[in-house]
């Protein structure tokens, strides 16, 4: 029951606390604590505990869409802003 509600709770928290759009959120990764108990001569067995910690990380895909909508030159300009201002020096101009 709890595992069925966890992704929905993460979604509702992201919408309420951060003001994000519901249709642009996806689950990036999830993690749950799985502990192993080592045994003699190499094998290990999972520890069965009644409670565990579950982490769900959501990703907003609308941010990536806006990034890729920009032109190629705008992205290059952000990486190295001086490349547009440099004047090309030809060999015959330097003489």
Ordered per-residue pLDDT tens for the chain, 95 residues: 456 667 777 778 888 887 777 777 777 777 777 778 888 888 888 777 777 777 777 777 776 665 555 544 444 444 444 544 555 555 554 44
22-to-31, 32, 62, 81 alpha-carbon distances in Å = 22, 24, 10, 35
CB–CB of 63/51 below 8 Å?
no
Q: How far is CA 50 from the centre of its chain?
A: 30
The confidence score (pLDDT) of residue 68 equals 53
Classify residue 71 by burial, with Cβ atoms within 10 Å: 0-12, 13-18, 19+: exposed
The confidence score (pLDDT) of residue 47 equals 79
The confidence score (pLDDT) of residue 80 equals 47
């Amino acid at each position: 029951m709890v595992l069925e509600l966890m992704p929905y709770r993460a979604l509702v928290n992201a919408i309420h606390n951060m003001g994000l759009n519901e249709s642009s959120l996806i689950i990036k990764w999830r993690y749950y604590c799985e502990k192993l108990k080592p045994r003699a001569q190499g094998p290990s067995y999972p520890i069965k505990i009644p409670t565990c910690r579950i982490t769900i990380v959501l990703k907003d895909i609308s941010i990536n869409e806006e990034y890729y909508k920009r032109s190629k030159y705008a992205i290059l300009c952000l990486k190295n802003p001086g490349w547009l201002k440099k004047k090309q020096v030809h060999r015959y101009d330097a003489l």
